[in-house]
Amino acid sequence: MKGLTGAYVPGGSPLHRLPAGVKLAGLAVCCTALLLLRPPAALAVAAVVVAALYAVSGVGVTAAWAQVRPVRWFALALFGVQLVVADLSGAVSSTLRVVLAIALAGLVTLTTRTADLMAFLERCLAPARFAGLDPYRLSLLLSLTLRSVPVVAELATRVREAQRARGVERSPRAFAVPLVVGALRHADALGEALAARGLDD
């Protein structure tokens, strides 16, 4: 959840000042380059570059770690599998490749306001107009999705706490029913709130 919303770390670094589009394009180029880099030495250089970019952004070690932390088990599993099917150097480079790509994506999230990302996306989606889709709608849809993550997460926590309070540790039904009902209720009210503020008029 933290990786999706509220991750933006305010700052005035050159990375913060770059337009969202440039950062996203840069991310695409860098990830492609990561895939193409073969020698482990080149990947080591890439790792140094990523670390340097983080240093330039000034987001701090905690925020940086928070971006990579969620994939630590996945990276470990990947390393293990690669070690079996390939060799040590292969395992190191493919794991490094994935972790660096995630770190770079995380850096974009950390230095870009959601609003700027959305605005950029809205511009990119402009051609969708010709297919009869409203780019503003699409970008609003994405905003709402992002905003719903913490709401549903909080709802899930509340439901789980309510279960525990009644002595149920694991019951899919006791968890799913209130969660779905709560999410639907929220969706209903959200629809009314959107209408009340003039969407669809």
Partner 1 sequence: MTSGSPSLVVSRLAYAYPDGTQALYGVDLTIRRGERVALLGPNGAGKTTLVMHLNGILTAGHGTVEVGGLPVRAGTLPEIRRRVGLVFQDPDDQLFMPTVREDVAFGPANLGLRGAELDRRVRDALERVGMLDALDRPPHHLSFGQRRRVAVATVLAMEPEILVLDEPSSNLDPASRRELAEILRSLDVTVLMVTHDLPYALELCERSLVMSEGVIAADGPTRTLLADERLLAEHRLELPYGFAVPAHPG
Q: Which of 144, 176, 180, 181 binds partner 1 (CB under 8 A)?
A: 144
Backbone angles phi, psi at 30, to 5 degrees: -65, -40
Q: Which of 147, 171, 176, 181 binds partner 1 (CB under 8 A)?
A: 147
Amino acid at 68: V
- Judge whether 15 and 56 are in contact, CB under 8 Å: yes
Asked if residue 196 binds partner 1 (CB under 8 A), the reply is yes
- Which of 15-23, 46-54, 88-96, 182-190 is the region at the interface with partner 1 (rule: CB under 8 A)? 182-190
Cβ nearer to partner 1, comparing 169 with 201: 201
How is residue 119 written in tokens?
């605005």
Residue 109's CB: how many other CB atoms inside 10 A? 20
Cβ nearer to partner 1, comparing 10 with 167: 10
Cβ nearer to partner 1, comparing 10 with 172: 10
How is residue 160 written in tokens?
């789980």
Name the residue among 102, 31, 104 with its Cα closest to residue 72: 102
Which residues sit at the interface with partner 1, rule CB under 8 A?
Answer: 5-6, 10, 113-115, 118, 143-144, 146-148, 150-151, 154, 186, 189-190, 192-199, 201
